């Protein structure tokens, strides 16, 4: 009963602080501070100082501001516009036509920004007006961009993976590699759905009459090549063991600056905006990580994870039942809280439980990331829904309905990953060898 009461008090305080729009990192510090003062006799000040220092004294965290910096530069370059132009001739004959560009462009852009909102906003601003002008179904256009844009945190590099890796003490490099095949599987699932719908309802996708010569296809190579060079150098250096994620991020920053200078798309004013956004986002994430570490130690000192683990073990749930319950809980949380906050609030409690049931923490990390991808298209707080609302001037529920088929498809992919966990674990194990 003590554990239940303490847990209720902690959850209630978190809800109150978040309800009053407290920054999540500060809310975690305050709840942890209150819990230690009321429920234990530990020296609060010394513990806070030690945990804050130890949580941030990690070379892995250098990847956070570097990937953010790289993404901000690329958002303001012509890379995304060139990518659309380069992919256009290749996609026009596939059933669904240019809708596949949304999927492919989001998948590629996800691999260079690590952000769902940046991916959806950048691709959406370019493709949706083009698709509407060519007569494509509006719901299909919106749904593909909003849903495929969520891959920004699943296909590496991913800031959310860095946060999970630090909190769960998992290899960030292996998390990066582990997200590749599930990310590609989701993108493939989306494309197969578009092909199926287009064949069943051809009126949703107009026929393309433009003809391209062989020379036109050759001209697309310089438009697509910089993106593939950037992805190959970042992920290839991590996978081969030549560089850590932080070192690969530094290489990505340099290359993105080179591409931006070559395309003459980065001036003094936009570069200042890049720096401001990088500092702002990095500070927010680092505050959340340090607050989450303090909150986690608070829970540990109160033995809440240990007691909850024993309680769930006593229920003798089947592994599938446990995972089903966790998926439902994460989907509900995703409707109310941002992804990084979900990770830092739940992982200290959930990880001991899933480990006790024999699930690989690396595999579970990718599952959590996919659930956070889903949270970006679930109302009322799905970030990508708001981004597409801003681009199209449609209401929240119209955009949410457009994303519903892709929401169900991502849940189906989670089922596939449960049955075939090697889809996640194959490349990380190969990487270790």
Q: How distant, in Å, are the alpha carbons of 99, 115, 235, 403 from that of 410? A: 18, 18, 24, 11
Identify the residue whose tokens are 């194990």.
Answer: 429
Tell me the per-residue pLDDT of 25-34, one tens digit each, with 9 for 90 and over: 788 788 888 8
Q: Would you state the pLDDT for residue 3?
A: 67
CA angle 332, 68, 22 (to 5 degrees): 45
Q: How distant, in Å, are the alpha carbons of 29, 32, 36, 240, 303 from that of 6? A: 16, 12, 11, 46, 11
Q: Would you state the pLDDT for residue 208?
A: 62
Q: Would you state the pLDDT for residue 169?
A: 85
Q: Which residues of 350-378 are buried (b: 16+ CB within 10 A; e: fewer)?
A: bbbbbeebebbbbbbbbbbbbbbbbbbbb
Q: Would you state the pLDDT for residue 50?
A: 75
pLDDT values of the chain reduced to their tens digit, one per residue, 433 residues: 566 777 777 778 877 776 676 776 788 788 888 877 777 767 666 777 777 777 676 666 677 788 778 777 877 777 767 777 777 777 777 788 778 888 888 887 777 666 677 677 777 777 788 788 878 888 999 999 999 988 888 887 777 888 898 888 888 889 988 999 999 999 999 999 999 998 888 887 776 666 777 777 787 888 778 777 877 887 777 777 787 777 887 888 888 888 888 877 778 888 888 888 888 877 877 777 777 777 767 776 776 666 666 677 677 788 999 999 889 888 887 776 777 777 877 887 888 889 888 999 999 999 999 999 998 888 866 778 877 887 788 888 888 899 999 999 999 999 999 999 999 999 888 877 6
Taking the C-alpha atoms of residue 226 and residue 252, their distance in angstroms, rounded to an integer, is: 12
Q: Would you state the pLDDT for residue 8?
A: 77
For 358-403, give the DSSP string.
T--HHHHHHHHHHHHHHHTTSTTT-HHHHHHHHHH---HHHHHHHH
Q: Which residues of 215-248 are buried (b: 16+ CB within 10 A; e: fewer)?
A: eeeeebeebbebbeebbebbbebbbeeebbbbbb
- Which residue spans within 264-308 are E strands per DSSP? none
Q: Would you state the pLDDT for residue 362?
A: 94
Q: Which residues of 58-75 are buried (b: 16+ CB within 10 A; e: fewer)?
A: bebbbbbbbbbbbbbbbb
Tell me the per-residue pLDDT of 142-196, one tens digit each, with 9 for 90 and over: 999 999 988 888 887 777 888 898 888 888 889 988 999 999 999 999 999 999 9
Angle in degrees, 0-180, between the axes of helices 339-356 and 361-375, rounded to the nearest 10: 150
Q: Would you state the pLDDT for residue 380?
A: 66
């Amino acid at each position: 009963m003590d554990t239940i009461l303490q847990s209720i008090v902690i959850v209630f305080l978190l809800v109150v602080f978040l309800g009053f729009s407290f920054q999540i990192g500060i809310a975690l510090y305050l709840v942890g501070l209150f819990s230690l003062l009321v429920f234990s006799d530990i020296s609060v000040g010394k513990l806070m100082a030690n945990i804050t220092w130890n949580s941030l004294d990690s070379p892995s965290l250098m990847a956070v501001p570097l990937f953010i910096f790289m993404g901000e530069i690329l958002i303001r370059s012509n890379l995304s516009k060139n990518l659309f132009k380069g992919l256009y001739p290749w996609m026009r004959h596939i059933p669904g036509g240019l809708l596949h560009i949304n999927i492919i462009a989001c998948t590629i852009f996800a691999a260079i920004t690590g952000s769902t909102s940046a991916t959806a906003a950048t691709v959406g601003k370019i493709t949706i007006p083009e698709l509407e002008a060519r007569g494509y179904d509006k719901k299909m256009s919106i749904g593909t961009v909003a849903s495929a844009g969520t891959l920004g945190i699943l296909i590496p590099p991913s800031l959310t993976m860095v946060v999970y890796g630090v909190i769960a003490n998992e290899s960030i490099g292996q998390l990066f590699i582990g997200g590749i095949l599930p990310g590609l599987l989701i993108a493939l699932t989306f494309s197969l759905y578009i092909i199926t719908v287009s064949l069943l309802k051809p009126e949703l996708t107009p026929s393309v009459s433009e003809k391209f010569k062989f020379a036109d296809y050759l001209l697309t190579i310089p438009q697509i090549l910089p993106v593939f060079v950037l992805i190959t150098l970042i992920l290839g250096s991590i996978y081969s063991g030549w560089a850590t994620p932080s070192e690969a991020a530094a290489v990505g920053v340099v290359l993105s600056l080179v591409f931006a200078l070559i395309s003459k798309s980065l001036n003094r004013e936009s570069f200042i905006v890049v720096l401001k956004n990088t500092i702002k986002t990095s500070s927010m994430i680092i505050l959340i990580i340090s607050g989450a570490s303090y909150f986690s130690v608070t829970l540990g000192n109160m033995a809440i994870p240990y007691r909850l683990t024993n309680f769930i073990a006593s229920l003798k749930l089947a592994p599938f039942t446990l995972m089903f319950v966790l998926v439902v809980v994460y989907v509900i949380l995703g409707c109310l809280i941002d992804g990084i906050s979900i990770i830092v609030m739940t992982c200290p409690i959930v990880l001991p439980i899933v480990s006790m049931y024999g699930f690989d923490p690396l595999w579970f990390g990718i599952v959590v990331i996919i659930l956070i991808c889903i949270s970006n298209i679930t109302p009322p707080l799905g970030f990508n829904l708001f981004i597409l609302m801003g681009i199209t001037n449609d209401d929240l529920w119209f955009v949410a309905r457009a994303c519903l088929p892709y929401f169900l498809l991502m849940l189906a992919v989670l089922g596939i990953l449960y049955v075939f966990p090697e889809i996640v674990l194959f490349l990380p194990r190969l990487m270790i060898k």
